[in-house]
Copies of this chain bind each other. A is one copy, B any other.
């Protein structure tokens, strides 16, 4: 029986010129007629919009007046498909989220592909299809791109780099350096879903409950939060390294201490038990559809209610506070009442998670 992913890939009906090439060959990155066919038959139909000028070197856009946010991320997740998403959704959601964490509404994305010779055309088509759907759902346009092909063995199927442009929606954009003593720390939902999903898929672990990535574009939630309060001081999407890494960076950047309560952290039972089996801590596991917010205390409750009213934040919670003690450091009050430091880890427990 086909998995959901395999089914999607099998369903793809290949346009005629591409049918001669069931797999990517070096020429698809050569800039000649094979490249043109790939662009015209695969990328343009999927990403279709008025701004995508397939054959121009760059795209000319008119932006609304004001400040813009600019960001980029490379995506090398392995495997390419996992429950709840694929490298395609990540490449859209991740860069959109980087923009919205600066208080910007994402408008335009670029998409750059590094493909391995031999990659199945159906696999690429399924990835592109999911990217396009994610972009439509997020209200962003993929307006320019590039494709390179490297020899078999010189990549791992498909790497995608997206860059994004957004328009800053507030006069006081949140930034990692703006946390103040007394501020309240909130998260928008359960921790570790994406990381544990990719991990379990990669290692072929199975749990009683199905794990699913939380990959999502968060700017609708951010817009609601910024409309509700002018005192959202910091926003971060806790991807690589998870919540603990984001909060460590904020503590260092703002020169404050941060204290969180273990019992307040929302964690799905399936993620909690998977973490226990693997000896991992959900606060260090990557998320792709969650944010952490640091908000002035007088606005915290209102922001929490706005978050819970939004589908992207229905499991939001207040998890801690910004303190004057132990500046630059994140501590956790454990469920047993002890206090422990959650340091910035050296590397990543789960490489290639995004």
Residues of B within 8 A of A33 (CB): 344-346
Interface residues of A in 231-252 (CB under 8 A from B): 236-237, 239-241, 245, 249, 252
Given contacts A70-B165, A98-B58, A175-B56, whether A30 and B347 have CB atoms under 8 Å apart is: yes
- B74 near A68 with CB under 8 A, answer no
Asked if A213 lies at the interface with its beta carbon under 8 angstroms from chain B, I say no
Q: What is the number of residues of chain A that contact chain B, defined by CB distance less than 8 Å?
A: 84
Interface residues of A in 135-159 (CB under 8 A from B): 143-151, 153-156, 159
User: Which chain A residues have a beta carbon within 8 Å of chain B's beta carbons?
Assistant: 25-36, 53, 55-63, 65, 67-76, 97-99, 101-102, 104, 108, 110-114, 143-151, 153-156, 159, 161, 163-166, 168, 173, 175-176, 236-237, 239-241, 245, 249, 252-253, 344-348, 351-352
10 closest Cβ pairs, A-B complex: A27-B347, A30-B348, A31-B240, A163-B163, A58-B71, A72-B110, A161-B161, A31-B241, A57-B98, A30-B347
Having A26-B347, A26-B351, A70-B165, one finds 5 other A-B pairs with CB under 8 Å, namely A32-B347, A60-B168, A61-B69, A72-B112, A74-B161
